[in-house]
Each structure stands twice: as structure tokens, then as C-alpha cells.
Amino acid sequence: MHRARTLQPDERMRSTTILAVRRDAKVAIGGDGQVSLGPTVLKHEARKIHRLADGTVMCGFAGGAADAFALLDRLDTRLEHYKGNLRRAAVDLARDWRTDRVLRRLESVLVACSHDVTLMISGNGDVIEPDDGVIGIGSGGMYAAAAARALKSHTDQTPTQIVEHALHIAADICVYSNHKIHVETLD
């Protein structure tokens, strides 16, 4: 009898690239479209960026899709409870995610952006706001963030342009990312 192979947590977390860039009063978040299962590409054009709170918050995720959707639903509920205050909703979600016996099994990482804040939220209880307005997650997240920081400091590109260019750079380096880029913007 053949047993199904169980993916290790690092295999689930490495299979995407999500990047958020904030400049002046604009923020953009984008992701590649590749869905991988171990070394196999299953899908090329997945949408990993979703809007919450009636479109005022944008979120991207790396990790298990079902886990991420469960977390996005919970974040949306908290955003409604806190009247769109992303910081409060994120801290509340991270606390529950870390302490709740069911939620702590969820394996995903989120990036959430509103008009005034960009946050990375994890199941370890992390709620991190980057100093420079740039944050990347997933297997290509650090490549994309490095490219975005260089573009942000040496060009006058908009956040949308920076996200697009940086995600393409990451896709050239990371085998778990592709060039099917989707970007959302808040002005």
C-alpha cells in the first residue's frame, strides 16, 4: 500500500512570493501565481491577494491556502469588530492564532495593508510593521524585498511598479515563484 507523503512545514511556506511596498500615501501588494506541492507545480495563475473590510484592507498569504482562507475570514471579522483598525485586528488575530489549540495548527503567514499600515502576521504571535514600508514573505519574499528596497531608494517608481519589477526579479531566482504577477493598490 502506498502512503501519501506529508509535506513538512518549510515545504508549505516556501511556495510563493508576496511583496508589499508603501511609498508616500500609496501602498501596493502583489504575489506570483504559482501553486506548488513539493517539487511539482500544480497551478500557474492563483490569486493570493484578497481584499477585506469592504476593500479597505489588502492581504496576501504564503503557506497553506485553506489555512490562509480561514485566517483571512477571522481577520475580516476582527476588522469589522474594530471598525477597520488593522493594527488592533492583527494583534487580536495573532494572539488567538498563537494560543488557540485549533488555530495554532494553521500554517500560513499573512501580509496585510491598509491606508496607514503594512503588517506581517504569523502564528508565532508576530505582528511586524516594517520600518521602510517594504515586506516580503514566502520563498521568494526576501529576494523581492531586497529588489524592492533597491528600486525604492534608487528610482521614482510608484509602489505598483516597484512591486511588479521586484516580483519578476524574485521569480527569476526562486523556483517556487513564477511571472504570473497580480498586484493590488490602495491610494
**Who contacts 105 (Cβ-Cβ below 8 Å, separation ≥6)?**
none
Which member of 16, 17, 118, 160 is catalytic? 16
Q: Which of 57, 63, 62 is nearest to 75 (CA)?
A: 57
Quickly list DSSP for 118-141.
EEEEETTS-EE--TTSEEEEETTH
Q: Catalytic: 16?
A: yes
SS3 105: helix
* Region for 54 from its dihedrals, namely left if φ exceeds 0, alpha if ψ lies in -120 to 50, beta otherwise: left
**Under a CB-based contact definition with an 8 Å cutoff, are residues 86 and 112 in contact?**
yes
Helical packing angle, 86-99 and 65-81, nearest 10°: 130
Give catalytic residue positions. 16
